[in-house]
């Protein structure tokens, strides 16, 4: 009888005990070079101070994620939803941002050297003027989801 009661109480606690919503989505301060995060729901995930060089995020939903001071060199961020993402001080050199939606992102001190931005939507992205000017030189394409021209979203 005691074993049945213990099993019942354990089952109730397992199914009804509230777990933190994003407890498994904290990847902060980790070395994740070459990781595959493609086609995953990563809304609100935290990647601050993480080394994500050569990682694949293609097709993922990263809305509201934090990449503060993250190393994203040569990362594949194509076809991602990056609305309201924090990328302040992130290094995106060589990253592929083609057809991504970065609407409302904060990337003021981010580094964007040799990036691919064809079809990316930069609507209301906070970036430094000198970075915006460099991106305008390579801006082309139309985002397949928002139907906005990359050059127009950068206010070129």
Q: What is the pTM of this model?
A: 0.83
- What is the model's pLDDT at position 15? 40
Average pLDDT over residues 82-93: 97
The end-to-end CA distance of the chain, in Å, is 74
Work out the mean pLDDT of the chain and round it to a whole number: 88
Average pLDDT over residues 80-103: 97
Per-residue tokens: 70 = 């993250």
Domains of the chain (ranges, CATH numbers): 25-156 (2.160.20.80)
**pLDDT, tens only, 8-59:** 434 333 444 443 333 348 888 999 999 999 999 999 999 999 999 999 999 9
Q: DSSP class of residue 19?
A: P
Q: Evaluate if residue 88 carries a pLDDT over 70.
A: yes
- What is the model's pLDDT at position 9? 39
Residue the block writes with tokens 């005691």: 2
CA dist 138 and 118 (Å) reads 8
Q: How confident is the model at residue 61 (pLDDT cuts 50, 70, 90)?
A: very high
**pLDDT, tens only, 129-140:** 999 999 999 999
Distances (CA, A) of 131 to 27, 36, 109: 27, 28, 9
């Amino acid at each position: 009888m005691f074993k049945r009661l213990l099993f019942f109480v354990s089952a109730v606690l397992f199914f009804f005990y509230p777990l933190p919503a994003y407890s498994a989505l904290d990847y902060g301060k980790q070395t994740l070079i070459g990781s595959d995060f493609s086609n995953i729901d990563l809304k609100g995930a935290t990647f601050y101070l993480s080394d994500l060089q050569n990682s694949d995020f293609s097709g993922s939903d990263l809305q509201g994620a934090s990449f503060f001071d993250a190393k994203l060199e040569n990362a594949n961020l194509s076809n991602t939803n990056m609305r309201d993402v924090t990328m302040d001080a992130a290094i995106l050199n060589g990253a592929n941002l083609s057809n991504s939606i970065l609407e409302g992102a904060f990337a003021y001190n981010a580094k964007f050297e040799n990036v691919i931005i064809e079809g990316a939507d930069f609507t209301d992205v906070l970036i430094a003027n000198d970075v915006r000017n460099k991106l305008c030189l390579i801006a082309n394409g139309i985002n397949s989801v928002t139907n906005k021209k990359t050059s127009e979203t950068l206010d070129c």
